[in-house]
Chain A
Amino acid sequence: MKLAITGADQPMGALLCQRLAAHHEVIPVGAAVDPGEDGVDAASYCHANLNLPPAAAAAIRGTDMIVHAQPHDPAPASGTGAEGELLERISRGTYVLLQAAMAAHVGRLILISQMRLFQDIPEQYIVTETWQPRPRPEAASLAPFMAELVCREIARTGRIEVVNLRMGTLGAADGTSGDDAVAAVQRALVLEMSEGYHWQEQHVVSGGRFLPQGA
């Protein structure tokens, strides 16, 4: 399968590029000029501003599916307007990417979002995928939520399938291990969507309070 993986210049995207390349043809896509992360194939790396439709279309050309890891740990912005820049990059970038995907008849996008969307829910609760995310009123917290909303609402139109994988901090004790992250994406690539829905979500955690009961 040919995959475009966004966020290749950040830890989660880079890991997925590196590990999934053993099984698939991978196009690493990042906002930085150079990948910067170890293990990403510089030769196939695609520097793209996903806010721009031509760049997004070029980045996903010929791919079967897209792994959109950029919202999991987007490159931080700095200076005046940094919060707005981050929000626009993730919300508009996700919208443009999905538009490009639908135009190219890509059947599925796998979104890598954040378990942090639930961090303020009291610890005594068992949080599952049916719970509403509770982002903080901060751009960094809202950004992955914006990506989720864009994906969910566009998936609802029936023109593309989206699997939303919420993951914790890569390698952290209460986060998501590299092995679990890669395995979850592998499963999502072949997942059968249930009951005709075009949107499905899963929590992918390796330890800590969000570990599913009985795991």
Chain B
Amino acid sequence: MATVAGGKVVIFGAGGPVGAATITALKEHYTLRCTDAVALDQIVAEERRQSVTAPLPELLDAPHERTVVDVTSYDQVRAACEGMDAAINLTVLRHVLDKAFAVNTVGAYNVAKAAADAGLRRLIHTGPFHTRMGHHADHWLDHQVPDDVPLHPGDDLYALSKYLGGHITRVFAEERGLEVLTFLFCGFRPRQITPVKGGGVGPFTVSWEDSGESFLYGLRAGDMPSPYEVFFIAADTPDRKYRVDKARRLLGWQAKDTFEALYRRPAG
């Protein structure tokens, strides 16, 4: 049984906004080992926000832990997995050639290998779903695109290097008995809809808060139909561009924030 209803969870990339939301969602249910390439204390002290509305991570007291881990180092990743029940990989580096493959591809290899070597029950891997790649093989023209659709990253550095990491993680799931859930994200926005933000909501958007809660459902979910399952993590919007029912069926999760005020005409 790969369900992780309690115990210890290591988070890689905990210093980013999804990491911050995940810490908030999991802290009362698991003992967390929060890791990032930069010390979380430094991220908070320097207010290193990804964007103006992006959350910063909470600095949790013991028994939670926080430590610096560079996912490009297998030894560091393996040590961070020691004694854990599950791992969540939120690491990403988007547009810098010198680090993109190291973090997004090699980092995925190190995390999957360490999770398998350490006997973890479940790994939640993450990546982007790019809605518009600017070539004819992307899925921008389609509707009701399902979670399991093959990604076509084109030559985009970020999309391609993460795509490779996803395939590596799939191979570990299929060959090493590690159960992997891959959560795909696209757009994020805060739960609170402010007048300044306004202006509609694009397809494939989720609130920071809902993104964090999706990991709670991912850890607690029952056995999956196959060792590697991919989920769109997004609000269910009436444009019918992307199907988000798989997360509801297999994880029991759906976004609470649907941003209806942004696509419904005001009454009267």
Contact = CB atoms under 8 A, between A and B. Distances in A.
B175 A84 contact: no
A157 B136 CA distance: 7
The interface size bin for chain B is 20 to 34
Contact of A145 (B75, B155, B167): B167
Interface residues of A, number: 29
B262 interface: no
Of the candidates A92, A145, A149, A153, the one having the most CB atoms from chain B within 10 angstroms of its own CB is A153
A137 B160 contact: no
Given A87-B109, A157-B135, A142 B171 contact: yes
Given A137-B116, A158-B135, A99 B161 contact: no
B157 interface: yes
A92 B96 CA distance: 12
A137 B155 contact: no
A137 B175 contact: yes
Nearest to B108: A87
A146 interface: yes
A84 B97 contact: no
A69 interface: no
B91 interface: no
Contacts of A88: 101-102, 105-106
Interface in B114-140: 116, 135-137
Interface string A60-96: 0000000000000000000011011001100110011
21 contacts: A81-B72, A83-B74, A83-B109, A84-B74, A87-B101, A87-B168, A88-B101, A92-B97, A95-B157, A96-B97, A135-B171, A137-B112, A137-B116, A137-B175, A145-B171, A146-B167, A149-B167, A154-B155, A156-B135, A156-B152, A157-B154
Interface of B: 72-75, 97, 100-102, 105-106, 109-110, 112-113, 116, 135-137, 152-155, 157, 160-161, 163-164, 167-168, 171-172, 175-176
